Amino acid sequence: MVDLQALRQAEHGRRIRNGYMWALFCAVLWGIWYIPGTVVWGLTPFVEMYTEVASTSGDGMALIVTAVLITALNAVTVVLALFVWNGVLGNYGEMIRTAKSFHPCSKWFLLASVFGGPVAILGSFMAMGFVGGAFAAVAALLYPVIGAALANVWHGEKISKRAAMGIFVIIAGGITIFGGGVITELQAGSVGWMGYLGGLMAATGWGIEGAVADKGLDVANADVGLHLRFIAELAIWIIIALPLLAIMGYPVFTYAFQIFQPLTILMFVFAGITFGFCYVSWYKSFPLIGVGRGQGIANLYGMFAVISTILFFGDVPQWTVLVGGALCIVGSFIMFSEESLELETLRN
Amino acid sequence: MTQMEAYTAFFESAYVPAGEYVWLFVVLAIAFLAIWQARTWVFKF
């Protein structure tokens, strides 16, 4: 006779393993995204665009304006990559149904696109432009704290002591990885408050996005929900952000039409695949292991970004990177080794 | 500097041989694995 209790436990264990697997896919792909995400800055037309804007408005503003155009174009290829993803999964019909159901679900994805797109991404670039790249990375690493706290207050999501400890150890690892650079940048930053505001926007934006999207994922498919979220984000960049920058006198459209170079297009295609598939994995992990754990494991992207840049760009790692990487691994094991029955119900 | 020179300059010190091409295949392999896992999960139901 089949033991129903044993079957139920086995199915539950599979669900948890799948949740961690998706969060790990997210971290790996996010880490690799830094390769096309970095290279594209060194290609035509962005080198010329940065130089032109910097000559009139300074380096900080040049970074933000160029980053907005790159992010908008990245959103285009993410949407295309997700069409492939959802096509392979046979989800187009579901997409139309979800988009039509605005009140129960797609409104949450629209809201997620606002927090995850303009708020978090723009904030991250502000932190990068006005303080520095390492500060932006550390600020972004704090987003699971906001996400886990909001999911706890809003959805009653349970965060066990072990999960909380894992999240904090991974964040400590990330801070150790980027920490040395932060001190130098904080001393050198000239328009500090804009950078700090950007850091706050990045941490809260992605944290809120996770909690808001999880609300929509109660009734919608993660693959479809994420695709709708990115279509909404693309609309925000193209209909609001880029025209606003053009009105302010920045040559965003002039340079947007100059991207049709084989290598630039190739970089955007690969940025679209890595970012799109990373994001969809992030969303897929939320219903399975909860927002706090999903975001905590996804935070390993810091370590994978460092590994990618060491392997492919030949960056020489400092000792802080090795200590930080070890902390990230310890934090992940603290979370992975949590008894799966502890996660039988994710919410109170 | 041509586009190709600008591109390969990023990978000059790569520890992985032919790093400027290898990373593209690494991405495709992981992306294929992810989409295959997603499809396997969907077709269980």
What's the average pLDDT block by block, 10 residues per block, for chain A (348 residues)?
A: 78 86 94 89 92 90 90 94 95 90 84 91 78 72 83 81 84 78 64 76 88 86 92 94 95 94 95 94 89 85 85 80 81 74 63
ipTM of the complex model: 0.95
From B23, B31, B39, residue closest to A277, measured CB to CB: B31
Q: Do B39 and A25 touch (CB under 8 A)?
A: no
Q: What is the pLDDT of residue A46?
A: 93
Measured between CA atoms, the residue of chain B closest to residue A44 is: B3
CA distance A293 to A290: 6
Q: What is the pLDDT of residue A7?
A: 83
From A42, A223, A284, residue closest to B10, measured CB to CB: A42
CA distance A273 to B23: 13
Q: What is the pLDDT of residue A262?
A: 94
Averaged pLDDT, B11-40: 95
Q: CA–CA distance from A323 to each of A31, A170, A183 (Å)?
A: 18, 11, 17
From B14, B24, B38, residue closest to A270, measured CB to CB: B24
| DSSP helix/strand/coil, A259 | coil
* Contact status of B13 with chain A (Cβ, < 8 Å): yes
Q: Do B6 and A284 touch (CB under 8 A)?
A: no
Q: What is the pLDDT of residue A305?
A: 84
pLDDT level of residue B2 (50, 70, 90 thresholds): confident
Output the six-digit token pair for A311.
């392997």
From A18, A42, A88, residue closest to B35, measured CB to CB: A88
- Its pTM stands at 0.89
Mutating which of A26, A39, A258 best tests the B interface, going by the most B Cβ atoms within 10 A? A39
Q: What is the pLDDT of residue A190?
A: 55
Q: Do B15 and A18 touch (CB under 8 A)?
A: no
Alpha-carbon dihedral sign for residues A48, A53, A59, A60: negative
pLDDT level of residue B8 (50, 70, 90 thresholds): very high
List, in order, residues 6 or more apart from A108 with CB less than 8 Å away.
A212, A213, A215, A216, A225
Domain range annotation of chain A? 24-343
User: Phi and psi at residue A318, in whole multiples of 5°?
Assistant: -90, 170
List, in order, residues 6 or more apart from B11 with CB less than 8 Å away.
A312, A313, A314, B19, B20
User: Phi and psi at residue B44, in whole multiples of 5°?
Assistant: -75, -25
Q: What is the pLDDT of residue A251?
A: 94
According to DSSP, residue A157 is labeled: B
Q: Do A264 and B3 touch (CB under 8 A)?
A: yes
CA distance A186 to A128: 11
Determine contact, residues A155/A212, Cβ cutoff 8 Å.
no
* Contact status of B18 with chain A (Cβ, < 8 Å): no
* Contact status of A51 with chain B (Cβ, < 8 Å): no
Determine contact, residues A132/A120, Cβ cutoff 8 Å.
no
